[in-house]
A and B are shown apart, each in its own frame.
Chain A
């Protein structure tokens, strides 16, 4: 063991069920307490106001579920990864489950710095065309409207064919709504399944500190493009995985960054 060795580990975990309603900061505190309960000693930063050394790869918006969350943290001593995982799972509340525990193979950059894209499953519930919208074939009467797979495929194709997808986005600094073209941030979008007029799409979009696209923004643009009716709680958003770019320039799921040796 080297004198200056740091014991940095990373876990991949879920955030589902009622846990989707807690914020990024609350999740940070939740993990801190879980480490305490499990008797795992985190390394603290030195200085005026010491805080535990841990960081998430990419914050998840309140209200979204995920099975593709990552947390990196530093311990005061070496730990067995399998025991770490089990010890945490024993004390975490239902909804947060550690799926993997490993070490980041990139010794220079944190996961947060490496995140480049995210895959999402988004369900649009109870898809219904606006009564006034044109260009939509309503098979029978509105009440027993049945969505057709080809319809959805066509809409996705048409949507992505656009040179620009302009949405109104609130600027962080000025708080003003400004038009932004999000088309370059959409890497892929396809139909995953149709279930009773609920359609599930799989999205691959840019994510991370460089360019980042909130899937809700994209879905609202798609709903507008299609001319669907909007309703409260219509979107269910689930993050599947985060991606980074490897040395060869290929896109890799974040789990490939971890070593389990």
Chain B
């Protein structure tokens, strides 16, 4: 892999932090002859290596694409600020990890969209790669720039930069795209003809074939199609059988430490709980399980191939897997034998979980986490979060008796119908937990425990029942957070932390934005914004300046009540869940009515007209 670019990169590496993140060469990274494939695919994660390599989706897609003989998938990450500075000074273009070839040599460059705050990094990476920022300015021989992942469900703010989006499960659509690319290449057609081919694949959205129409009040009213054969609404992709879906058994093992340096097996996709604020709960429907045996087989082969000493399982709600108890017993058994530590995120705290946690956290009890999300039962009914106060108190009492001495609670402020009584409810929960700890410790004042109350600002998300709800103003958020801070201050052993309001505001603007927000992102990047999800790099003044420069009013997207809008900026993307379901969920929320977990009985969200719901009514007894 010796090339001139590689030598240039090696010259600057001694000047940068953590150079090991730029050199590749990891165990199970794939080396192919680029000349032997028809599609070179650059999988780009718009953040630094240590974050991107902790993301399971990268390992899944890398494995899946490289199994194709005609495809070579290489990884691309955002260089940290110090590396970017060196690269720009030395004229080094963005390069791939595998071959150190310029990203411009790829046929397709695919970004994964995990969070809105990574968007300026996408613009920056295109610029570093020497690829024109706007799709329309790219010449025939340039890579196609595409994107997928959860944020592709509301793609308009990136429409200027991305040639096509892939919506929904990526496993099959990526293969379809690569095959279409090969056929297109062999046919020797123009760039536009490839996009036409792509637009006819289910789950693919080509923004260039759609022109937004705005009303006189500036509100989007629809999408005018510029290519007849493109679908009116783009229906997301579904894979039906997780057991048969490709999953990495030889994951790439990073040489340098990453955020999550461990083996991960996805146990199921989707969630039946129906929390009304939750976007993932909609986008990953329906629930599709990987069987216990397959999970255990994959875990064992990953651990053997990687040598990792930690295993984690991934899903939206671990305890909801239909075979969770025998699965955990099997995994625990294997991990004990191999000296591997097991981490089980998002367990519901019942008697089974406690026995498991006692076993796996024998030496270091890492602390328990609850997400009541709201301080009163009333508001929890509004958001359809079924956890109760008694459940939390019971679980914490048991935990305290078993020797856990730290608990973390997650709440949101700014939810629909919220009042200060709901904030008082948060304080009350913290106070009661504090009493429980004193009680269990025999009333000793100096008893060691800590309760962390972590509050985030609610960001209404597209494709949820709360999608039309106006976000609280930054002032409202600030008042609420300060109110909580003051009320919690007298409570000993209670720590309070909250999110910055500006970040939450910007998230709402971008999440709910239309195509006009593209210009804001580009301008913010020009003003120097990068790594906006990093507290130390986030600079809201620059974003405000960018909105001013482009004449875009962020509040129009974040604060406006969209309840009467006939068309939303993401209405042309079909999540498989019906608008009627969102409307009825909103109505029920306003009446404080809960909707059952859909593994008890079908709640009629509409997704089962596209894919089989494995858990539908499975607990109906």
Contact = CB atoms under 8 A, between A and B. Distances in A.
Interface residues of B, number: 30
Given A21-B20, A26-B255, A93 B26 contact: yes
Contacts of B363: 48-50
B15 A37 contact: no
A94 B309 contact: no
A89 to B, nearest CB: 14
B214 interface: no
A11 to B, nearest CB: 16
Contacts of B27: 93
Contact of B12 (A29, A48, A49, A232): A232
B26 A32 contact: no
B307 A232 contact: no
Given A26-B256, A30-B255, A94-B25, A48 B364 contact: yes
A23 B20 contact: yes
A95 B27 CA distance: 12
B11 A18 contact: no
19 contacts: A17-B25, A18-B20, A21-B20, A21-B22, A22-B255, A23-B20, A29-B261, A32-B307, A36-B338, A37-B307, A41-B339, A50-B363, A62-B19, A63-B13, A63-B19, A93-B255, A94-B25, A232-B14, A233-B14
A25 B15 CA distance: 20
A33 B20 contact: no
B25 A32 contact: no
A34 interface: yes
Interface in A69-96: 91, 93-95
A17 B253 CA distance: 17
B10 A233 contact: yes
Contact of B307 (A18, A25, A33, A48): A33
B239 interface: no
Interface string A34-50: 11110001001000111
Given A18-B20, A33-B253, A48-B364, 4 more contacts: A21-B13, A32-B309, A35-B307, A63-B13
A237 B135 CA distance: 46
Contact of B25 (A36, A63, A91, A95): A95
Interface in B115-167: none
A19 interface: yes
Interface in B100-120: none
Interface of B: 10-15, 19-20, 22-27, 253, 255-257, 261, 303-309, 338-339, 363-364
A93 B256 CA distance: 13
Q: Counting chain A CB atoms within 10 Å of each CB, which of B11, B307, B338 scores highest?
A: B307
Interface in A115-146: none
Given A33-B253, A37-B305, A21 B15 contact: no
B26 A23 contact: no
A41 B307 CA distance: 12
A67 B289 CA distance: 49
Contacts of A30: 255
B24 to A, nearest CB: 7
A22 B24 CA distance: 11
Contacts of B308: 33, 36
Given A21-B20, A36-B309, A37-B304, A26 B257 contact: yes
A217 to B, nearest CB: 15
A63 B14 contact: yes
Contact of A34 (B14, B15, B307): B307
A233 B261 CA distance: 31
Contacts of B25: 17-19, 93-95
Contacts of B364: 48-49
B339 A44 contact: yes
A23 B256 contact: yes
A35 B339 CA distance: 12
A18 B306 contact: no
Contact of A19 (B11, B15, B255, B307): B255
A29 B257 contact: yes
A74 B257 CA distance: 24
A25 B19 contact: no
B307 A26 contact: no
Contacts of A62: 19-20
A47 to B, nearest CB: 9
Contacts of A232: 11-12, 14-15
Nearest to A33: B307
Contacts of A233: 10-12, 14
Contacts of A26: 20, 255-257
Nearest to B15: A232
A7 B304 CA distance: 24
B263 to A, nearest CB: 11
A63 B19 CA distance: 9
A146 B13 CA distance: 29
Interface in A224-241: 232-233
